[in-house]
Amino acid sequence: MAKLKIALYWAASCGGCEIATLAIHEKILKLAEVADIVFWPVGLDFKYADVEKMADKSVDVCLFNGAIRNEENEHMAHLLRAKSKIMIAYGSCSYEGCIPGLSNFYNRQMTFDRVYIETPSTDNPKKIYPQTKVKVPEGELELPEFYDTVKTLAQTVDVDYFVPGCPPEEKTTWLALEALISGKLPPKGTVISHSVKAVCDECPRKKEEKKIKKFYRPYEIIPEPEKCLLEQGLLCYGIATRGGCGALCPQANMPCTGCYGPVEGAVDQGAHFLSALSSIIDSNDPEEIQRIIDDIPDPAGTFYRYSLPDSLLRRARIK
Amino acid sequence: MDNFEPKIVAFCCNWCSYAGADLAGTSRMQYAPNIRIIRVMCSGRVSPLFVLKALSIGADGVLILGCHPGDCHYIEGNYKTMRRVPLLKKMLKQLGIEEERVRLEWVSASEGAKFAEVTNNFTQTIKNLGPSSLGPPQQSSKEARHG
């Protein structure tokens, strides 16, 4: 059998997904036996021109991580889609927008003002912003255009599979790679994970009736080791998040933040969490309810931490 | 905009508010024609998802009407709504959507007059606010670039 041809690419991401692909440890040797890496900017010296020269559909699989933030990201998404038989949105950024997607609370100008003017470590008295074209003695240089709105990969090109996680767990990555190596592929559009149920299903903490009088932020309390974190007033996102990670964060006393995306069948993770969370507030008095809600300083940022670009509203409206 | 006629989605609970709307109708009460009523079994059935969906596909306002506290046919469904709506409003505000675009009111089966009054009042509020800045989701990359 001919070796599989695999391409890996990073768009708007932190690089964690690149490390996650290596976190399969010794299984990387097995991968090397059956697959050749034909493009991987972070690890090997390829140029975009090399990809352009490849025949269409000549790459078997592209693992694409990172959100679509600028013109370069979008160009590479289209190029790799054309060259690849299977396109996988690998990791939360390409799947749902993730942390880069939080800039959808702002627009380009606000982001530029913050980054190039306002940050305390920035000294930019002439208020110079990045330009798409700049003249230098040697000629004109071009930079990709920075977009107002961060998009997911599936909002940009046709995507075959999704691998959730920020970053995906080792076993989730391997589940996807194993399916590719064996050729036993799930139906198109599948979110590849060991579970279609919520994180709570895998979480060993004791769960009783959920009634909350006060919400806490993680630094405010030391949680009891065995009781459900949500029942202790921490905003644990497990009830609205797909499992498959093994409920690692709650087992380390940290509430789940929702990186594996919505459970199977749910479309807007934030709305589902909002619904479930507010229902368990233990009060029937509007004023007390308001006080309890005031404990949550940033509901939109918390509920859409990983999924604002993939949510129904996609971004905040800026007046 | 003087001739702006808002599109308003009203989720009415089957047991109280929908009957209240019915009473307003059979009593020949006049109320603003801007609302599109969707009957749900309980105001507690109105997931924040429904509200976001309505807003994202072009509704200028969303009205949620349920039984008065204590009167829920399912005992405590409307209490869940009572807790959900303030948190939803707080979140919408962060997303640049005026919280006045979503309103929760209690309307019983005998309150046809209140139904008409709430509808008129809410329609006026939305008229004053103007059209929602939300259109259908932006699709093309060109719009994403400049939207």
Per the structure, how many domains does chain B have?
Answer: 1
CATH number at residue B129: 3.40.50
- Flag whether B1 is in a domain: no
B137, pLDDT greater than 60: no
**DSSP of B102-123:** EEEEE--TT-HHHHHHHHHHHH
Q: Which of A149, A156, A299 has the CB atom closest to B147's CB atom? A: A149
**DSSP of A209-268:** ---BS--B-GGG----SSB-TGGGTB--GGGGBB--S-SHHHHTT-----TT-BPTT-S-
- Flag whether B3 is in a domain: no
Cis omega (within 30 of 0) for bond into A167? yes
pLDDT category, B2, cuts 50, 70, 90?
low
| A-B contacts at Cβ under 8 angstroms | 102
Contacts of B46 in chain A (CB under 8 A): none
pLDDT category, B143, cuts 50, 70, 90?
very low
- Flag whether B2 is in a domain: no
B8, pLDDT greater than 90: yes
pLDDT of amino acid B140: 39
Residue of chain B nearest A266, judged by CA positions: B49
Distance separating alpha carbons of residues A101 and A310, to the nearest angstrom: 9
pLDDT of amino acid B139: 44
Residue of chain B nearest A267, judged by CA positions: B49
Quick check: B87 and A299 CB within 8 A?
yes
Residue carrying structure tokens 């949500």: A230
Quick check: B90 and A281 CB within 8 A?
no
ipTM value for the complex: 0.92
Q: Of B57, B133, B141, which to mutate for an interface test with A (greatest number of A Cβ within 10 Å)?
A: B141
Residue ranges in chain A whose pLDDT is less than 70? 1
pLDDT of amino acid B146: 35
DSSP class of residue A7? E
Quick check: A313 and B141 CB within 8 A?
no
Tens of pLDDT, residues B93-111? 999 999 999 999 999 999 9
pLDDT of amino acid B24: 97
Would you state the structure tokens that stand for residue B14, as one six-digit string? 């089957």
Q: Of B46, B53, B71, B91, which to mutate for an interface test with A (greatest number of A Cβ within 10 Å)?
A: B91
Question: Which residues lie below 8 Å from residue A235, measured CB to CB, with a gap of 6+?
Answer: A215, A217, A255, A277, A296, A302
Contacts of B87 in chain A (CB under 8 A): 274, 277-278, 293, 296, 299
Amino acid at B90: K
B141, pLDDT greater than 80: no
Amino acid at B7: K
pLDDT of amino acid B145: 34
Question: CB distance from A81 to chain B under 8 Å?
Answer: no
Tens of pLDDT, residues B36-70? 999 999 999 999 999 999 999 999 999 999 999 99
Quick check: B79 and A313 CB within 8 A?
no
Quick check: B86 and A279 CB within 8 A?
no
Distance separating alpha carbons of residues B46 and B84, to the nearest angstrom: 9
Quick check: A284 and B79 CB within 8 A?
yes
Nearest Cα residue to A95 out of A28, A33, A40, A167: A167
- Shortest Cα distance, chain A CAs vs residue B64, angstroms: 15
Would you state the structure tokens that stand for residue B58, as one six-digit string? 């072009």
B136, pLDDT greater than 70: no
pLDDT of amino acid A98: 96
Range of the domain at B27: 8-146
Quick check: A318 and B134 CB within 8 A?
no
- Shortest Cα distance, chain A CAs vs residue B96, angstroms: 5
- Flag whether B123 is in a domain: yes
Residue of chain A nearest B96, judged by CA positions: A317
Question: CB distance from A299 to chain B under 8 Å?
Answer: yes
Task: Estimate the crossing angle of helix B77-94 against helix A286-293, to 10 degrees.
Answer: 40
Q: How far is CA A8 from the centre of its chain?
A: 16
Distance separating alpha carbons of residues B94 and B90, to the nearest angstrom: 7
pLDDT of amino acid A36: 94
Quick check: B87 and A317 CB within 8 A?
no
DSSP class of residue B50? H
B138, pLDDT greater than 50: no
Residue of chain B nearest A272, judged by CA positions: B49
For each of the domains in chain A, give its residue range(s) and CATH number, in order of start.
4-99+150-182 (3.40.50.700), 103-147 (no CATH), 199-302 (no CATH)
Residue of chain A nearest B77, judged by CA positions: A279
Quick check: B69 and A311 CB within 8 A?
no
Residue of chain B nearest A268, judged by CA positions: B49
pLDDT of amino acid A43: 87
Residues of B engaging A, defined by a Cβ cutoff of 8 Å: 47-49, 52-53, 55-56, 69, 76, 79-80, 82-84, 86-88, 90-91, 94-97, 133-134, 137-139, 141, 144-147
pLDDT of amino acid B1: 53
